[in-house]
Amino acid sequence: MPQAVFYRACLLAVLLALCDSFGEYVAAQSGTNGGDLVSLAFPTENDAVLNGRPEYFYMGLDRRIAGRLEWSWEGGTYGYIRNSRSTPAGWRFTRFHEGVDIAPIYRDGNGEPLDEVRTVDDGRVVYVNRSPSGSDYGRYVVVKHLWEGSAFYTLYAHLAETTVRIGERVQRGQQLGVLGYSGSGLDRDRAHLHFEINLMLNEHYDLWQEERRPRWSSRHGRYHGFNLAGVSPIELITYNFRRPRASILAMLSSEREDVTAFVPAGPPPNLLERHPWLCRSCNGDPPPDWAWSWEVGFTRAGRPVSIEPSDLHIASIELGRIDALVRADYLHSRILTRRGPGSALNSTARLLLSVIFTRPDQVPNW
């Protein structure tokens, strides 16, 4: 190559590289919802899952399959991973685990875990349950974060002690407490941090519970587990860790809808007002003030992943689409029930929809 051509080629390469990194830089400034992108930390020092050693990261448990008890680290992961059942599709775990169980790294001479539990990002402590008998979660802390303009709630459960107060501002990596085994069904050997990343279904949840489930304990208010829908937390953290310039809202809004349901006419639900990115057909615009119906897309675990306005005229809730794989797999106990050769929304799905569509002045009567 003649020298002049070579230099021109080099100049072009440098310019292209600069343009490319500028493009990434611009992309890094704001997320899908207009807020800043975030950089999440792990909630304890244990990050073995990053190094391909999930068996050291997750606290497993004994699972019974075909009458045999088997220890498996998969029992500490997120998803349908507990309570095996024989189905025409083979053995399936039909009970959903809405978070992950992270094993301790440090223990003292008596085997007591010592790991610090830390907040994965800057935020505000919105709930602390100090009474270990008050919940299956034992002592737990909830921190509210604003990620790309959207509110997320991280939950840290089974703590031995908590070191923060409600209302306190915390910074990424700051200690919230010590890993433990408070709550139900745990002992020192299986001490772990149960960790969740949640969306809140409705800020007016208290009204719904008062009317529809008055016998449920109201001590946790809107931080009740039924009002918190957990995303796959380690998937989200490792995704964010490996692609620090990528939007986690873009990742979440590309999740597949396993089942959809239509809800009768009305204004957009509180969830959509707080998370407009859930409306995929809105293309970044605010959702309409009213629609003939709303089509809610759920994961197989019953977490809403999309809410779209629809022209369908209906008088009550109707089942929309079902992913054929999900039906065949039997992994849908939180949302579908079998009816003859087909499927129907089950009572949990109907309750979830009524929570999502509760307004400050009205609880749906369906």
> Helices in 30-106 by DSSP H: which ranges?
54-57
Q: Is 101 in the site for Zn ion (CB under 5 A)?
A: yes
The region of 51-59, 135-143, 191-199, 259-267 touching Zn ion under the rule CB under 5 A is: 191-199
260 or 333, CB closer to Zn ion?
333
Task: Quote the least distance from Cβ 174 to Zn ion, whole Å.
Answer: 23
Task: Quote the least distance from Cβ 332 to Zn ion, whole Å.
Answer: 20
Q: How far apart are the first and last CA of the chain?
A: 75
140 or 152, CB closer to Zn ion?
140
CB 319 within 8 A of CB 297: no
Residue 251: Cβ-neighbour burial (10 angstroms; 0-12, 13-18, 19+): middle
82: amino acid identity, one letter: R
User: Does residue 271 come out as left (phi exceeding 0), alpha (psi in the -120 to 50 range) or beta?
Assistant: alpha
Task: Quote the least distance from Cβ 177 to Zn ion, whole Å.
Answer: 16
- Count the site residues for Zn ion by CB under 5 A: 2
150 or 333, CB closer to Zn ion?
333
* Residue whose CB is nearest to Zn ion in the complex, by number: 194
- Give the closest residue to 335 by CA, choosing from 264, 279, 269, 260: 260
Task: Quote the least distance from Cβ 157 to Zn ion, whole Å.
Answer: 7
Task: Quote the least distance from Cβ 243 to Zn ion, whole Å.
Answer: 26
Helix (H, G, I), strand (E, B) or coil at 122: coil
Name residue 40's beta-bridge partners. Answer: none
* Interface mask toward Zn ion for 269-298; x: CB under 5 A: ------------------------------
97 or 327, CB closer to Zn ion?
97
Q: Is 194 in the site for Zn ion (CB under 5 A)?
A: yes
Task: Quote the least distance from Cβ 90 to Zn ion, whole Å.
Answer: 25
- Give the closest residue to 94 by CA, choosing from 310, 261, 301, 347: 301
Q: Is 63 in the site for Zn ion (CB under 5 A)?
A: no
Residue 237: in which H helix or E strand, if any?
helix 233-242
101 or 295, CB closer to Zn ion?
101
Task: Quote the least distance from Cβ 318 to Zn ion, whole Å.
Answer: 34
Please list, in sequence order, all residues whose beta carbon lies within 8 angstroms of the beta carbon of residue 69, skipping any fewer than 6 positions away. Answer: 62, 63
143 or 322, CB closer to Zn ion?
143
Q: Is 158 in the site for Zn ion (CB under 5 A)?
A: no
Name residue 262's beta-bridge partners. Answer: 295, 318
Positions that interact with Zn ion (CB under 5 A): 101, 194
